[in-house]
A and B are shown apart, each in its own frame.
Chain A
Amino acid sequence: MGYKFNFADADRLFCNIFDKYDIYAPKKFPKQGRYSDTDIIKYAKINSINEIEFHIKSDYSAKEVLNPINETLFYFIENEFRESSAPKKPILLFARPCDINAIEIQSKIFEENGEFSDIYFTRIKNNLKFVLMDCNGGDDTCFCVSMNSNFTDNWAIAIKQLENEYLLSIKDSEFTSDFENCEQTDFSPEFVQQNTLSVNIKEIPNKEVLNKLKEHPFWLEYDKRCISCGSCTVSCPTCTCFTTRDIIYSENPKVGERKRVYASCQIEGFDQMAGQKEIRNKASERMRYKVLHKYHDYKERFKTKHMCVGCGRCIHRCPEAISIVSTLEKMNNAIDEILNKDIQE
């Protein structure tokens, strides 16, 4: 069962929820795009349901709400420190299926990778509920169906925006009373069954093939094409890498704050070690690292789905028009080539 109400009534119906929750959703920022007179859609705290951009996929992902680009961990003065405080209110996060699946992957990295769980991530996640945004199949960079990320049942409310009205479905009884006087309809969320873009990911059968794949010349193309800007990883909902940075307010280096800030495996210096040595100092090597992480290493480690949810943002944001789907097709061909050679030998 679901509900139906028009735009004008939305904020009145959500008013209790606005009181209790901070609501984050994709929002259009006019003319803030990379090129002039283009817009950017990014996550922001909203004050009205009608501010939300429902139809165009956001340029930046929902991860920014749980894992902000800059996040203060603690403040320090001499030998004392104080932890940054957690958000005061619980969060209601509007997201499409790919983004909800991606947050689960973020959670794997922040909470299940290694001995301890990251408190900064957990303190937000445990206080957060999802509003599932209806997705019509996205744009021509989306391939969530290929990545099995088109479906989720991790939501409290599901919403669909029509021309003048919203359709709502409620799974979490906490919210039922807010909408009980609305007109009822039989809305329940539908999930994308097909994207215009699709990809088949070949499994890498063994370490030997993996090693040959790493040496394969097809990667070298990216030395010429990729400018190592990091736009792909910043916008990627499943990239989690960060670096820590101490901010020093004045001449006294003992007073300041420790932040974590996104890092990108695509940007030069990502893996620079104390002795200045970099392991992957070519764009092709960094590209290989990213691609293998998304479509091999993560799955190897966690024995689940691949890391990539197929949201297509890395394709959409790349200023050099590099498509990760084409890269995967090239990788598939390289794997075939390696396997065929092995048979012949």
Chain B
Amino acid sequence: MNKDIDIKKLRLNCYRQSKEVGKFMLQMRVPGGFIDAKYLSIVQHIAQTYGDGNFHFGTRQTFNITGIPYENIPEVNKYLEQYIEEVETCLCDVNMNTIAGEEAYWEPQSGYPTIGARNITACIGNYHCICGNINTFELARKIESIIFPSHYHIKINISGCPNDCNKAHMCDFGIIGVARMEYHPERCIACGACVKACEKGATRVLSLNENLGRIEKDACCCVGCGECVRACPTSAWTRQETPFYRVIIGGRTGRQTPRAGKMFLNWATEDVILNTLKNWQKFSAYVMDNKPEYLHGGHLIDRAGYKKFKEIILDGVKLNPECLVAENIFWDETEYRSNFNVKPINLHK
């Protein structure tokens, strides 16, 4: 098939090349993976009018529409105007006329301007889930306006609780909703349900002091999941009113060195999370010398070294008093090939 198509440009426009030359898959952003069901008809319309009639749940919670012929892309982009306006501008307060925080004109009928900062994924969180500590999609919508549009890559996954259904451990910047607990001894009947719940479902940090008829807690190792609160029949355990967050960085999948992320911040407030993310562009620009490459956050942290990452990403961020920060991080990668990192010096990045 004789086609002359700028594939790389289309990728930035969120159209992914397919096996069949000239056919593309559109990826529509759904920040936090949660949206009014009325938009499904838009998805259906695009798929049936411009694509091959099919739809895929994107692994990053995008609406993926397959089989869109190259010729249809301008029409699809025009049609997308309303969706982008409603979701990005209205719902998430994104300034579409910027790229990485810098002013940049965006033509509203030209589709998505960047693919770098990926769709923020989230579990359903406490909008629905009985385990959730936070409203995940509301957080995703707040973050969307900080990271998008941008050519700098970042994958953010949000989980409502340490159960981490949404794999915050497997992305660049994973956020987990946690709660700090309050114990009301005057309500405790020493039934031991919280002890059992923590042992079975969490970290085994609770024990019953029979002499005092009270629960004792090894607070340093509590993961803030809230299983104890759910188990307690008397509300002797409650969550503090302010939600807190744990940040896991540098996780990734991939062909070379997949690894689970490691804890960077614990017990951070929402402000700390948002302000930290505001430094993401700056950090990426520093590592890549202001030239965005197709390189994810974990790799950037590797290049800069964790300490440099920490310095830039926390620059100007006022940490809440409870917030803990990793002094150092020691990664634990899967090396598909042993001594993967030992190579000719000219191949070092």
B231 at the interface (CB under 8 A from A): yes
Q: Does A60 belong to the interface (CB within 8 Å)?
A: yes
Given A36-B126, A36-B226, A37-B135, answer yes or no on A267-B191 (Cβ-Cβ < 8 Å).
yes
Within 8 Å CB of A234, what residues of B? 189, 233-234
Q: Identify the closest chain B residue to A251 (Cβ).
A: B211
Contacts A40-B235, A234-B233 given; does A229 touch B193 at CB 8 Å: yes
Of A31, A70, A259, the residue contacting B239 (CB under 8 A) is: A31
* CB-CB contacts below 8 Å: A20-45 with B: 29-37, 40, 42
Nearest A residue to B125, CB-CB: A36
Is B179 among interface residues, defined by CB-CB distance under 8 A? yes
Question: Chain B residues near A245 (CB, 8 Å)?
Answer: 190, 213
Residues of B with C-beta under 8 A to A33: 235
A248 sits at the interface (CB 8 A): yes
Instruction: Decide if A35 touches B213 in the complex (CB within 8 Å).
Output: no
Q: Taking the nearest CB of chain B, how far is it from the CB of A316, in angstroms? A: 13
Q: Chain A residues near B233 (CB, 8 Å)?
A: 229-231, 234, 264, 267, 317
Known A248-B211, A263-B189; contact A37-B126, beta-carbon cutoff 8 A: yes
How long is the Cα–Cα vector from A262 to B186 in the complex, in angstroms?
Answer: 11
Chain B neighbourhood of A29, CB < 8 A: 238
Q: Which residues of B contact A32 (CB under 8 A)?
A: 235, 238-239
Q: Mark A164-184, 1 if CB is under 8 A from B, else 0.
A: 000000000000000000000
**Could you say which of B186, B193, B239 contacts A36, with CB atoms under 8 Å apart?**
B239
Q: Which residue of A lies closest to B191 (CB)?
A: A267
Among residues 242 to 264 in chain B, which have CB atoms less than 8 Å away from a CB atom of chain A?
243
A-side contacts of B177, CB under 8 Å = 36
Q: In chain B, what residue has the closest Cβ to A235?
A: B233
**Contact A69:B133 (CB < 8 A) given known A36-B126, A247-B212:** no
Q: Which residue of A lies closest to B177 (CB)?
A: A36
Q: CA of A128 to CA of B103 in the docked complex: distance in angstroms?
A: 69
Q: Is the CB of B190 within 8 A of A261?
A: yes
- B130 within 8 A of partner (CB): yes
Closest Cβ neighbor of A38 among chain B residues:
B126
* Structural contact, B189 and A69, CB atoms closer than 8 A: yes
Chain A interface SS verdict (over half): loop
Tally of A interface residues using CB under 8 Å: 31
* B235 and A42 contact, CB distance less than 8 A: yes
- Give the Cβ gap from B331 to chain A, nearest Cβ, in Å: 32
Q: Mark A237-261, 1 if CB is under 8 A from B, else 0.
A: 0000000010110000000000101
Contacts of B211 in A (CB 8 A): 247-248
Q: How far is the CB of A211 from chain B (nearest CB, A)?
A: 31
CB distance from A37 to the nearest CB of B (A): 6
Chain A residues lying within 8 Å of B185, measured Cβ to Cβ, are: 70
Chain A's nearest CB lies how many Å from the CB of B177? 8
Known: A69-B187, A70-B187, A245-B213. A319 touches B241 (CB 8 A): no
CB <8 Å contact, B231 and A229: yes
Distance of A195 Cα from B126 Cα, bound (Å)? 31
Tell me if B186 and A70 are in contact (CB < 8 A). Answer: yes
What 1/0 flags go to B120-151 for Cβ under 8 Å of A?
00000010001011110000000000000000
B230 CB–A CB distance under 8 Å: yes
The reply to whether B190 and A35 contact each other, CB–CB distance below 8 Å, is no
Among B193, B211, B230, max chain A CB count under 10 A is at B211
Whether A262 contacts B229 by the Cβ 8 Å rule is no
Asked if B213 and A261 make an inter-chain contact with CB atoms under 8 angstroms apart, the answer reads yes
Give chain B nearest CB distance to A224 CB in angstroms.
18
Chain A interface residues (CB < 8 Å from chain B)? 29-37, 40, 42, 59-60, 68-70, 229-231, 234, 245, 247-248, 259, 261-264, 267, 317, 319
In addition to A70-B213, A247-B211, 15 A-B residue pairs with Cβ atoms within 8 Å of each other are A29-B238, A31-B239, A34-B229, A35-B126, A36-B132, A36-B243, A40-B235, A60-B234, A70-B186, A229-B233, A230-B191, A230-B193, A234-B189, A247-B213, A248-B212
18 A–B contacts from the bound complex (CB under 8 Å): A31-B241, A32-B238, A35-B230, A36-B134, A36-B177, A36-B239, A59-B235, A69-B234, A70-B185, A70-B188, A70-B189, A230-B189, A231-B233, A245-B213, A248-B212, A261-B189, A261-B213, A264-B189
